[in-house]
Amino acid sequence: MKILLLEDEPAAAQRMRRLLAEVRPDAVILRVVESVREAVEWFATHEAPDLAFFDVQLADGESFAVFEHVPVECPVVFTTAYDAHALKAFRVNAVDYLLKPIKAAELHEAIDRVGRLGPVRDLAALAPPSAREDVDAPHAFIKRFLIRYGDHFRVVVPDDIAYIHSLEKNTFLRTREGRDLPLDESLDRLEKQLDPEKFHRINRQVITHIQAIKELLAYSKSRVKVILDPAYGQDAVVSSERSAAFKRWLSGQ
């Protein structure tokens, strides 16, 4: 695996070298780039590496500026001592976002995720779904959501989700403790990102986790009413068109 490092602190660059040697002995560090200007020049004149680690804050500015000047056609993992840039990192083609001091296990997980993506050379395939229009979701199901509400960020893993629902053209994730958190993406796109063994879209307004289903009631004709926990404010009814698929999902088929 060929890796490029954007890091202007020699001690941090040396630590990253040691960690990479530990978790990925076959990794080849192509170069340690110390500035935005140098990174732009490098990507303009070299073939894209297999992976790049971008420190957010470089001597001449934030590394996000690299994307404004030159195509970065490789997976990128951002590294920083601060979490204030997390949301911005996922607006470009970030595969992961690691806080310093980076732990070996976290680095190993980030590299494994790149491996699951395969040899990607298309920025649109790496960008988050909210930043692209007609590109299929990646093969790997989403591992966690980074959600901003007000001045706060929260990371939510799929098993902490009770269901995702739409309300007045907005999308919300309802946690198991009953809290609604805003999402930027539509249910159509989210449906493709979630593990279908755990999640199912029961109607146009709701995608539910199987563990959030408290009770099922026979409704008119072939329809089914789903009682959710935490409680859903409206009737969560499976339409007759979706009923057969819903029952197959419940039975594990």
pLDDT of residue 235: 80
Higher pLDDT, 178 or 123: 178
| Residue 199 tokens, joined | 């999640």
Query: What's residue 140's pLDDT?
Result: 63
What does the pLDDT look like over 30-74, one tens digit per residue?
A: 999 999 999 999 999 999 999 999 998 888 888 988 988 998 888
Res. 126: pLDDT tops 50: no
13 against 148, higher pLDDT: 13
Q: pLDDT class for 136, splitting at 50, 70, 90? A: very low
- The per-residue pLDDT for 85 is 53
**pLDDT reported for residue 45:** 93
pLDDT band, residue 95 (cuts 50/70/90): confident
Give the number of other Cβ atoms within 10 Å of residue 22's Cβ. 12
Residues 166-203: tens digit of each pLDDT = 988 889 999 999 999 888 788 888 888 889 999 999 99
**Interatomic CA distance for residues 54 and 85, integer angstroms:** 12
* Distance, CA of 15 to CA of 195 (rounded, Å): 36
Largest CA distance in the chain: 69
3-state DSSP: the chain helix, strand, coil percent, rounded to 5?
30, 30, 35
Please give the residue that has the higher pLDDT: either 56 or 221: 56
Q: Which residues are within 8 A (CB) of 95 and not within 5 positions of it... i.e. 6 or more apart?
A: 51, 75, 76, 77, 110, 113, 114, 117, 126
* Sheet with 51-55: strands ordered across: 28-33, 2-6, 51-55, 76-80, 94-99
Averaged pLDDT for residues 82-101? 64
| Confidence label for 5 from pLDDT (cuts 50, 70 and 90) | very high
The reported pLDDT for the residue numbered 116 is: 67
108 contacts: CB under 8 Å, gap ≥ 6: 23, 24
As a whole number of angstroms, the distance between CA 56 and CA 83 comes to: 10
Q: Is the pLDDT of residue 118 over 60?
A: no
What confidence score (pLDDT) does residue 228 get?
94
The amino acid sitting at 219 is Y
Q: What is the mean pLDDT of residues 114-132?
A: 48
- CB burial of 204-231 (b: ≥16 within 10 Å; e: otherwise) equals ebbbbbeebbeeeeebeeebbebebebe
